[in-house]
Amino acid sequence: MQDTDSRPSMLSPTRQSLRDHQDCRFVGLREYCNLLISGEHLERCDEQLLGIRGVRDLKTGVRFLIEEEELFRARVTRRWADQAIGSNA
């Protein structure tokens, strides 16, 4: 996954350091959403200054992370699709 945000270039190495942690796993939108509704014992563990949203599995300690750009890009795309469908109805 590539950093595509307009925040300072310092973010890229910092995000990369999270990717290098054994307890951190970057996931895609589908897996992140599935985790949120899974019923697993999770707690939020966002890295707000880095633009990262995440949850931590309380049993294993593994952090599942997603970049805000990916999370919200899908949300905006869906909103546009819903509006287009609504305008055709």
Residue 55 has pLDDT above 70, yes or no: yes
**Count of alpha carbons within 13 angstroms of residue 24, beta-carbon side:** 17
Residue 53 has pLDDT above 80, yes or no: yes
How far apart, in whole angstroms, are the C-alpha atoms of residue 27 and residue 57? 14
Check residue 38 and give its pLDDT: 94
5 or 70: whose pLDDT is higher? Answer: 70
Residue 7 has pLDDT above 90, yes or no: no
Place of tokens 């945000």: 5
How far apart, in whole angstroms, are the C-alpha atoms of residue 82 and residue 14? 35
Band the pLDDT of 29: cuts 50, 70, 90. very high
Q: Could you tell me the pTM of the whole model?
A: 0.69
